[in-house]
A and B are shown apart, each in its own frame.
Chain A
């Protein structure tokens, strides 16, 4: 997406704290993603330098876990729950609605950089199924109309 340079100094604090603590790679990657919104290549190289862990191994760990991303995400990250209760309560319809409304597939970001869509494992709010989380907020008992309304409101709020 954008090619702005990555400010690696933001990582110093995290690496000072964890680089020499064994078993901390996942924690370091989580903090890195909190800082940049994803795991930039430059940051992975810096982590490798400071921890002595090969970049190949860092990538191995990073790609194993669904939490980690290697591309920047939009302002709003939509995490649509794929749990059993959501499945039984027609989450497929909600997925279709989001795809139609935003013109993106699972794992993609809208051209204006506002929305990213990610289908995720059970969010544990099964009683409110179907459920999605947008950034830190959870939205439950979704219907196609309700979903459209939420997306519209977020789009308007962002302008």
Chain B
């Protein structure tokens, strides 16, 4: 029997390595895999008996003896409670995996395991074609940029190919800065060779001899596994000079980012690669004409490259057979927030948000109803519950005011304040604005100040209109994607949740009960048992009462920290 433990960053954080160590102590030879994407069930142990898979979930180190007993004797009785349920298995069986096809299945640290899954056969196949033929297949597939913009990949490749100059660069944007998105991290940590192969095919297509991966410094494990994969690929002769005996040579370089969201913008990324402050350049010239070191350069996102080898092997038509008229193939989403099953979901375009959140994601984690889903991070927007049947398609999502984005899907229930959500994103963009354009630098700051006022109960009549005016001014006045899209979270929340803004401004109330300045805590005397727990936890001694008698909160003293609310075991503390 073969025992494999999922070890992506989140698996390790959930204790996967401790489980592996415990199994090793039981003399079970447990190896590792990347992340299968069922993050809510980590740590996960997969036991293969020939082809039969037994998947154990939420395993702890204490379960090691029981697992060892099963492996040694076949006695399942002590592990039955760990076996994944049919319902949870559907999380995977309802997906269609292309970019993530090997994630959580192969060992990302061993190149042979990738090769066994037809790894590097697509590269070999591509090298037998002309670069134009490769670009043609990508064109047929309809593959579009998965980083957010959705620009046709073949078009960028073709432009870089047709640019004059001997020296060209192929760059992978692995600066996954959108809060709430982690599919690129998962691909690099779980299947780094798939990325390398996709990049090599791209480099061949555009005629680049140099490939660069720009990866976030916040992803140390991804960097480590990618470095290891590059070394193994070099040893196998997959990268370097005269790959597979052809005329094609390509070297690789990893550059670690240093923490700047704007570096996800391609010209800012190039500035950063050159060792400068990551401030966007004017376009044109586009990177395809003048990019890294002013040479023709092509930049694609990790997930885009992760589809390339599959497309070459299976044909452009097979990829284009999935999806809608304008959006082909599959897309990976990182589904998180108040959803029951959070993790990575790869599905064909054309499915609906309901399919992802309710059918695959299992609906809400608590009994509070679904309120909205945030898509596209700081550049995207909030899609409300009544648009849950929106089809996953670049155009259809764009029509809601949100964007497909890189695939972050943060699910919210009624406890999330939408004005607070807009404030959260503006706080982010105001900090991350590089400062080059006045509209973005000062506009986001002013918007943030207004949103702060509104959530403190100091909103004024006319604030909503002023916010909208500022939004459009920033959209028009900013040079790059960061500024142009920064107002989206505000515009979509105003569009769909205007009543919440009005409640904050006119009634000085936060309907979600999240804005601490607009809520008050009190104690329901009927429910209070007088256990004194709240009084003992109150940092400002605002709660008084005698043992076994209902307690009282002095609202003048109360600083609304919410401690009493979180410690009360009888739901007696009321937030309103």
Contact = CB atoms under 8 A, between A and B. Distances in A.
Interface of A: 22-27, 29-30, 60-61, 64-68, 82-85, 87-89, 93, 96, 100, 120-129, 131, 136-140, 144
A14 to B, nearest CB: 14
Given A23-B274, A124-B218, A127-B39, A144 B566 contact: yes
Interface of B: 9-10, 12-14, 39-40, 42, 176-182, 185, 217-220, 255-261, 272-278, 293, 334, 336-338, 342-343, 374, 377, 408, 410-412, 416, 421, 424-425, 428, 432, 434, 539, 561-562, 566
Contacts of B336: 84-85, 88, 126-127, 129
Task: Give the most central of A60, A100, A124, A129: most B CB within 10 Å.
Answer: A124
Contact of B182 (A29, A126, A140): A126
Contacts, number: 141
A96 B334 CA distance: 27
A127 B9 CA distance: 11
A133 B271 CA distance: 29
A30 B254 CA distance: 14
Nearest to B178: A122
A130 B566 CA distance: 16
For the residues of A in contact with B, the DSSP-based class is mixed
A152 B452 CA distance: 34
Nearest to B35: A127
Given A27-B255, A30-B258, A65-B260, A125 B13 contact: yes
Given A121-B259, A121-B261, A127-B40, A138 B539 contact: no
Nearest to A25: B275
Nearest to B220: A136
A128 B39 contact: yes
Given A126-B342, A128-B39, A88 B178 contact: no
Given A29-B258, A138-B13, A93 B278 contact: no
Given A68-B258, A138-B13, A140-B14, A26 B180 contact: no
Nearest to A62: B258
A97 to B, nearest CB: 10
B219 A124 contact: yes
Contacts of B539: 100
15 contacts: A26-B256, A26-B272, A60-B277, A61-B277, A67-B259, A82-B428, A88-B336, A123-B218, A125-B13, A126-B180, A126-B182, A126-B410, A136-B220, A138-B13, A144-B566
A95 to B, nearest CB: 12
A137 B17 CA distance: 12
A64 B278 contact: yes
Contacts of B260: 64-66
A151 B40 CA distance: 25
B70 to A, nearest CB: 27
B10 A26 contact: no
Contacts of B179: 82-85, 87, 121-122
A121 B431 CA distance: 10
A114 B275 CA distance: 33
B416 A88 contact: yes
Contacts of A22: 274-275
A65 B258 contact: yes
B10 A30 contact: no
Given A61-B276, A87-B179, 20 more contacts: A26-B258, A30-B217, A30-B258, A64-B278, A67-B217, A67-B259, A84-B408, A84-B425, A85-B179, A120-B218, A121-B177, A121-B218, A122-B178, A122-B179, A122-B180, A125-B9, A126-B180, A126-B408, A127-B42, A128-B14
B6 to A, nearest CB: 12
Task: Give the most central of A60, A83, A131, A139: most B CB within 10 Å.
Answer: A83
A88 B338 CA distance: 8
Contacts of B408: 84, 126
A32 B307 CA distance: 37
B416 A84 contact: no
A30 B562 contact: no
